[in-house]
Amino acid sequence: MRGFLIMTAGILSRDKNTIPVMGAVSSLTDLVPRSLQYDDTTRGLTVHIVGDDSPALPTGINGAPATIGTTAVEMTFTGTTKVIAIKSASTNTGLIWFGPAGVTNTGANAYGELTADSAVEIELNDASSPIYCISDTATQKVYKAALT
């Protein structure tokens, strides 16, 4: 939210009575907009800060290579994932599709595709929504990693 703070004339340099200010509302902890409060005596602002909206940082990493063929393979990880990455090997000759359990080796239902030496990063913290990989060619390779 951007606005202007209106103050009594004569208290700022060159007698300006408005200055631009920035304010925000935390979407996670405080849904009520809070005004900035100006004190004429101290010429200071009071800003209300509620909570800490910063996401929890990952504390671990795990992963491994996986062989992908014409049957979908679930990308499994240890722990609760925050971010997963899937990279297609540079030696792959076929396409790799990633998506839900119903993804096919022609790309139907896929979220996206990987060509040789390409990668995707997905924020995923829901173990009930697994990601699968499948290829149009047998014996392809991906490297999978997860931040947990």
Q: Are residues 70 and 130 in the same domain?
A: yes
Residue 91 lies in a domain: yes
Residue 51 lies in a domain: no
Q: Are residues 70 and 109 in the same domain?
A: yes
Residue 53 lies in a domain: no
Instruction: Determine the Cα angle at 139 with ends 136 and 141, to 5°.
Output: 95
Q: Which domain holds residue 12?
A: 2-46
Q: Are residues 35 and 81 in the same domain?
A: no
Residue 87 lies in a domain: yes
- For the question of whether the overall pTM of this predicted structure is more than 0.85, the answer is no
**Torsion sign across C-alpha atoms 101, 105, 107, 113:** positive
Per-residue model confidence as pLDDT tens for the chain (148 residues): 444 445 455 544 444 444 444 554 444 455 555 555 666 676 666 555 555 666 677 788 999 999 999 999 999 998 889 999 999 999 999 999 999 999 999 999 999 999 999 999 999 887 778 999 999 999 999 999 999 8
